Structure 1
């Protein structure tokens, strides 16, 4: 019903565009064809499979069967014509996670570490009972911080592009992540708030501000272009 809202390639034909599915859905009926459809629907350059085990675990209705998931991820990696990216959602990947994902054929890793949006806390606020809210709230400090997870992934899978996201505040954080080995750096909440408060102009202003901060940080640290 909302498929057409994801068809944005005609608006920005030359941008890097990713499709996104929950990895656990491979254990709940999604297969290679569903992955292809997600990519084709938005003419994506790659498919992200996000791993949100904690979020699913604290949801009363969550999909918690993560058993043998890497085997299915490997099948998808070999079957699709576009790269498959593994993404955490706010708790970071360990070094062992990164090694296993690389062995499964993942083309890049977004560590999405602790420090930004906490989906366990989102689930706390939407919990149907006080007990569910208390369980979700207990995990407020859970996860591997982005800077640590970034180093784990870079060391465990040095041949893969590594993306850093989770708690980025400004362009200086971007420079720090690049120094730690990140190939790309991601923001989410800041752009959502900018769009909500000031629309397109707010998003453009934020992007230009982050770019200025990054350039100055790189210049002052003596980094090359």
Structure 2
């Protein structure tokens, strides 16, 4: 168990000490049209929404930063307080450590706060047998939900990260059936971890009971790069090279929002660094925007610092609504967006 705790500690440390972001933030290639005469008062703008049955003051979710090691308790506590005060959603990191016998306090801490949307988290690779490791069961999944009083459970797809991880779980056959089985009885969403979800994969997931997709495309943290740095620290040359070579692998986040829009609610994540990015994702078809890396350093400081940063993000979101003449999210979702640069090239390819 100490191995998992140490790995999670490494992930946070490396994310803060090294440049592990995508070399390009593709959200900057998406432009909105300025409305010079908005005809709406800023204070009258309503950015509230209902997502997966939960009422949010703004369609922003702090997505799956961490859990499973001592420092994570403080991070998740600070996040929970801020998200409660602001009325926005919160997801925890993978709960595998607690499900395999580790201390669950870094997760259960968020039960003490009235966060309007809480998202649990387990990995798809752990739903099947990996080498000498047992597969997580429906009982384990329910335990993950109960651990934080989760409204929904995210099953994360992190096979790129697993390939770059020295001790990675690299079996995948059977994961789809395992997800389908869980989704029959439990409130399940699917979350990528930085490489995006294609239209084909989204269509495969549609209709098996999955309630939403968190696309988490290329633009934000590359866990391939994180694992590459970690492998270097461990003197694991092979996995370090895999992490480096595939550090930019995946589907750009804005493209994944478009391509994965098959009728399931979408959380746009991967490089959402400010409220403009978040609002832009709503015009592209997302129902909520998820952010993690942008908030991490504040979450390590205090709940006040976390809340202060998130308040700025929400104001940036509302400013985008004001400057596009949008009184509510329905009007924002109907605004035009323009694709430029690499995102436009990707979109042209997908249209062929």
Which bracket does the TM-score occupy, shorter chain normalised?
over 0.9
Q: What stretches of structure 1 move > 2 A for 4+ residues in a row?
A: 8-11, 128-132
Provide the TM-score with structure 2 as the length reference: 0.60
| Distance apart, 1:75 and its partner CA | 0.4
1:118-129 equivalences in 2 (<5 Å): 118-127=222-231, 128-129=235-236
Post-superposition offset of 1:134: 1.6
1:60 partner SS? coil
CA–CA distance in structure 1, aligned partners of residues 127 and 267 of structure 2? 23
Contact 1:85 1:108 in 2 (8 A): yes
SS in 2 for 1:126: helix
Instruction: Give the deviation of 1:120 after TM superposition.
Output: 0.4
The count of corresponding residues between Structure 1 and Structure 2 is: 219
Correspondence for 1:185 = 289
| Aligned with 1:17 (options 118, 123, 134) | 118
| Correspondent of 2:145 among 36, 39, 44 | 39
By relative contact order (CA 8 Å, sep 6+), the higher-ranking structure is 2
Aligned to 1:139: 246
**What are the equivalent positions in structure 2 for 1:81-96 lying under 5 Å apart?**
83-96=187-200
Contact 1:71 1:104 in 2 (8 A): no
Q: Report the secondary structure of 2:251's partner residue.
A: coil
Query: Do structure 1's residue 221 and structure 2's residue 328 form an aligned pair?
Result: no
Structure (1 or 2) with the larger CA radius of gyration: 2
Residue correspondence of structure 1 range 1-225 to structure 2 within 5 A? 1-28=102-129, 29-80=135-186, 83-127=187-231, 128-154=235-261, 157-158=262-263, 160-196=264-300, 198-225=301-328
Measured after TM superposition, the shift of residue 179 of structure 1 is 0.2
TM-score by length of 1: 0.93
Q: Tell me the distance in 1 between the aligned counterparts of 2:227 and 2:110.
A: 32
Structure 1 CA distance for aligned equivalents of residues 111 and 165 of structure 2: 36
Q: Which stretches in structure 1 are left out of the alignment for 5+ residues?
A: none
What do residues 16-73 of structure 1 show as CA deviations (whole Å, max 9, x unaligned)? 0011000111103101111011001111101000000111112221111110211110
Aligned equivalent of 2:5: none
Q: Deviations over 1:198-224 (max 9, x none)?
A: 321210111110011111110110112
8 Å contact kept, 1:70–1:104 = no
- Structure 2, unpaired ranges of 5+: 1-101, 130-134, 329-352
Tell me what 2:68 maps to.
none
Alignment RMSD (CA, Å): 1.3
